[in-house]
Each structure stands twice: as structure tokens, then as C-alpha cells.
Amino acid sequence: MFKNDLKRIEGKNNYKKILENPEIQYIYIYRKYNSCKNRIIKKILYYFYRIYSFLFGFQISLECKIGKGLNINHWGSIVINPGVELGENINLHPGITIGQENRGKRKGAPIIGNSVWIGANVVIVGKINIGNNVLISPNTFINFDVPDNSIVIGNPGKIIKSENATEGYINRKV
């Protein structure tokens, strides 16, 4: 699955880029940990995962489900709850929090579809569904369902229907 992530970020499978790019290094360790069967190697990978989380400000739970083609654009605070499900071809930017609500009718964590671009400083909380081909503009707060082919903007979030919502934002889909 890491090959797909690397291809999305770099446009090709250039493993030399792993050494240069902290976002790629983090994704590599994340994917290796989740696919590893050997307990000893898994402990070593977990150690590196914790170091990278501290160094780069990523708190992406090893328990959340992430589809192929993850693209982290720039390093900085990104927090993702263990119960979150992310589809394929997701773009994440700094300052994102994707978390759970602990009570009420939206108790739980979000499920995010395929081809979703999430801008900087976005907060997504609660047991909600975000559809496919959705662009979430920076500084948006979402605690409601978002249909396919939409742009969400503002706080409170406003939904704008758009058939080509992520065109030009999500490149090199896998």
C-alpha cells in the first residue's frame, strides 16, 4: 500500500524520496507497522512511530483505517482518532483534528470517503459520514454528514454541491 502513497506524493515510486521527506517517512513507518507480523520488528517500528509522531506533530492512531493513496501535505499538527476510517486518495494538511464525540446522537468517530481534500485547521468530529469527492476548505468545522461531490466552507460549515469539487486538488489518484 505504501507504493500507492509514494506514487500519489511524488508521482512515481522513488524510494530515495523517503530519506528527504518527513511526511513520506511517517507514512512509510505507519504502513510498515500495520502490515508487519513479526512482534520484534513491530516493537522497533512502534518506537520509530513514536519518535516521528513527536518530531513532526502527527498523532495518527495506528488503529484507524486508512485507504491507499494517503498524502500528507506539510508536517505539523495532525490528530486522528483510532475509530476514524479514511478512504482512498485523501489529502491532509497541518492543523487537522479528526476526532470522536463522546456523547449525544453523534457519539463516535467519522467515516471519510474517497478523494477527500482536507484543508489546514479543519476540525471533523462525531459519528458522521463524509462522502466521496469532497473538498473541505481551511478553518472549517464539521459535525454533520456531507454528501458526495461537495465543497464545505466556513464555521459553521456550509455545503456547496460541485460535481468536480476536488478537481485540481487531488492529483495522481491511485
pLDDT (tens digit per residue) in 143-157:
999 999 999 999 989
pLDDT in tens, 90-146: 999 999 999 999 999 999 999 999 999 999 999 999 999 999 999 999 999 999 999
**What's the angle, vertex CA 95, arms to CA 127 and CA 74, rounded to 5?**
120
Q: Where are the domains of the chain?
A: 2-161
Q: Which fold has domain 2-161?
A: UDP N-Acetylglucosamine Acyltransferase; domain 1 (2.160.10)
Of residues 38, 102, 28, 13, the one with CA closest to residue 58:
28
Asked if pLDDT for residue 6 goes beyond 80, the answer is no
Question: What's the CA gap between 126 and 47, in Å, rounded?
Answer: 30
Contacts of 27 (CB under 8 A, 6+ apart): 2, 5, 6, 70, 72
- pTM equals 0.89
d(CA 34, CA 172) in angstroms, rounded, equals: 24
